[in-house]
């Protein structure tokens, strides 16, 4: 059996990084990818955007918090995982995420503006 995800896309927001009480970092990221969806009546290419929830742990999460910001282009390898919980109203909720094994920025790091 194989559970492997490969994505290249852009971050839609800055990573949300937190540390557990034991000091392990966890980063939640949101990545947008585009898929070619044919052509419109004028012959222009149409794209379909898909949004992916990512979760990274440890050093990968630390890297995300230090170096990644909204708009960066990322290459991501991971696996799909669906978790469930009950919300405050007692409804069962589900969330499918990509658990990140490897993450690399594939664009140039933005220049820091001089103050």
pLDDT exceeds cutoff 80 at 112? no
Predicted confidence band at 115 (pLDDT cuts at 50, 70, 90)? low
What is the rounded CA–CA span in Å between residue 10 and residue 105?
10
Q: Tokens in use for 24?
A: 């392990």
Show me where the domains of the chain are located. Answer: 5-105
Lowest pLDDT segment from 23-27, 60-64, 98-102, 104-108? 104-108
The model's pTM is 0.82
Q: Tokens in use for 55?
A: 């979760």
Q: What is the pLDDT of residue 111?
A: 60
Maximum C-alpha span of the chain: 57
Domain 5-105, CATH homologous superfamily name and number: Nucleic acid-binding proteins (2.40.50.140)
Q: What are phi and psi of 21, to 5 degrees?
A: -55, -25
Q: Are 103 and 55 in contact, with CB atoms under 8 Å apart?
A: no
Q: What is the pLDDT of residue 107?
A: 85
| Cα pseudo-dihedral 52, 33, 49, 85, rounded to 10 | 0
The alpha helices in 1-115, defined as continuous H runs, are 58-67
The pLDDT tens digits of the residues spanning 27-86 come to: 999 999 998 888 888 888 888 899 999 999 999 999 999 999 999 999 999 999 999 999
């Amino acid at each position: 059996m194989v559970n492997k995800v490969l994505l290249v896309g852009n971050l839609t927001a800055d990573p949300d990084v937190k540390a557990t009480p034991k000091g392990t970092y966890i980063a939640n990221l949101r990545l947008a990818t585009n898929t070619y969806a044919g052509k419109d009546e004028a012959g222009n290419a149409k794209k379909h955007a898909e949004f992916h929830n990512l979760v990274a742990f440890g050093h990968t999460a630390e890297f995300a918090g230090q170096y990644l910001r909204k708009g960066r282009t990322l290459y991501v390898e991971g696996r799909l995982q669906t978790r469930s919980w009950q919300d405050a109203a007692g409804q069962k909720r589900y969330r499918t995420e990509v658990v990140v094994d490897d993450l690399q920025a594939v664009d140039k790091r933005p220049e820091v503006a001089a103050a």
